[in-house]
Structure 1
Amino acid sequence: MTVSADSRSKGQRLPRSARRAQLLEAAQAAFVESGYHAAAMDDIAERAGVSKPVLYQHFPGKLDLYLALLDHHREDVEQAVRSALTQTTDNKQRVLACVAVYFEFVSREGAPFRLLFESDLTSDPAVSERVEGVAITCGNALAEVIAADTDLGDEDAHMLGMALTGMAQVSARYWLSRGGQIPREEAARIVGQLAWRGIGGFPKSESSLSHDHAEQPAHS
């Protein structure tokens, strides 16, 4: 979402997509710094180097800006978790990769995690739906893999998926609050190892074991 400083001059014409990205970047900085309620459209326009009418051409109001940011970052996290689950069939690596997603997200420049995980506007239904939705979507993706590989019922699998998602998020935020005293990769590995020791204790289903055996190369 980064826009070069040269493109910030007031009145300069930009393609619509580039202008939108510039406005979202400015809005994110304002929301992270001040919170939703204290952030002002005047400040956002000034940060972006545009007039308020230009800002309102792209976003009718402050809430529209906020929701657009939530949608953007929510999609990023959800896609990263799905990718972690589909890039390998090794369940331990899947768990470690899913935990690493949250540590990477809280480390991003501009602190977008504060919008998704520490929003001061969860009383608004549209915001609440997005904030809760990212946890539910990621938890459901994990639950599908857990249910497919074990004999656990859907409710049990969803409980584990949500537990892993919650642990990853809270642990990543705690790690960041401590100033990253442990290297990020090491912190994510430690938490992922703990999660795997728990989830890995549930035995694989017979169908999953048969599938794994079928994929193993034949020995001469």
Structure 2
Amino acid sequence: MTGKQRREQLISIGRSAFAEQGFDGTSVEDIAARASVSKPVVYEHFGGKEGLYAVVVDREMQDLERRITASISEGSWRDRIEQAAMALLTYVEEETDGFMILVRDPSSKQDRAFSTLLNTAVSQVSHILGTAFKHRGFDENLAVLYAQALVGMVSMTAQWWLDERQPAKEVVAAHVVNLCWNGLSDLETGPQLGSSKLGTQLDDVAVEDAVVNTEKHTEE
């Protein structure tokens, strides 16, 4: 192998090992054995396990970030939500090892993490939401709050689906979008806690009035 080919081999082997055993459970000896090389070869290319892990994490971050950014770059509001959900679920399906490394084996040694990627997505979504909020007369400053909620919902659902794999990703995405879209379509400009109780009370009053009116009509 050339130096470049050996490096790519070690990255691929390290990726699989980190996904299977975690950062702490993987050793340079293990990686070298899988690649059928001596330990000094691993040190020569990456300086150690930490260096290899950093390269693996960075590649996964860049891949997922490209997918998410592309998914929300164009289309209608609903299209963007659908595309983002499908982009993340497709990444989970196609690059399971990479996603497991990002969400299950966080390392304090890394400057970048899955949370960093989510923050990038939140920033992009909040920018889009801010424009929509302004158009509809909502407070633009609240866009980041809603963006956090949307990104968090899609992210947590993807982590759940990592193990379940049922139903199909298209079905999962459709239900996530169903919740997101219907929630966004019927936003209140000034929501308050307890409003559902007030709504129930008003409904009860309406029912009581209807009963009274019916009784009066019957008596007449």
Letter in 2 for 1:141: Q
How many residues of Structure 1 are paired with residues of Structure 2 in the alignment? 185
Instruction: Map 1:71-110 onto structure 2 (within 5 A).
Output: 71-86=58-73, 88-110=74-96
Change (3 A) 1:96 1:15: same
**Aligned partner (choices 153, 162, 167) of residue 153 of structure 2:** 167
Greater per-residue helix proportion: 2
Q: 1:133 aligns with which of 116, 123, 134?
A: 116
CA 1:134/1:184 → structure 2, altered by over 3 Å: closer, same or farther? same
Larger Rg belongs to: 2
Gap change, CA 1:184 and 1:169, over 3 Å in 2? same
Alignment of 1:40-189 (within 5 A): 40-86=27-73, 88-121=74-107, 124=108, 126-127=110-111, 129-151=112-134, 152-153=138-139, 155-178=141-164, 180-189=165-174
Instruction: For residue 134 of structure 1, report the CA deviation from its aligned partner.
Output: 0.8
> How far did 1:172 drift?
1.5
Q: How does 1:26-45 map to 2 (within 5 A)?
A: 26-45=13-32
Q: What RMSD over aligned residues (CA atoms) do the two structures have, in Å? A: 2.0
TM-score (norm 1): 0.76
The runs of 5 or more residues in structure 2 that have no matched partner are 189-220
> Distance in 1 between the 2:180 and 2:63 partners?
22
Mark the runs of 5 or more structure 1 residues left unpaired by the alignment.
Answer: 1-12, 204-220
What is the CA distance between 1:108 and its match in structure 2? 2.3
Q: Tell me the secondary structure at the aligned position of residue 186 of structure 2.
A: coil
Q: Tell me how far apart the structure 2 counterparts of residues 184 and 111 of structure 1 sit (CA, whole Å).
A: 17
**Offset from partner CA, 1:73-125 (integer Å, 9 cap, x none):** 11111111110111x3311000111111221122124521111111253xx15
Amino acid at match of 1:95: I
2: CA distance, partners of 1:139 / 1:68: 24
Question: What is aligned with 1:19?
Answer: 6
Mark the CA change 1:19 to 1:199 in structure 2 (over 3 Å): closer, same or farther: farther
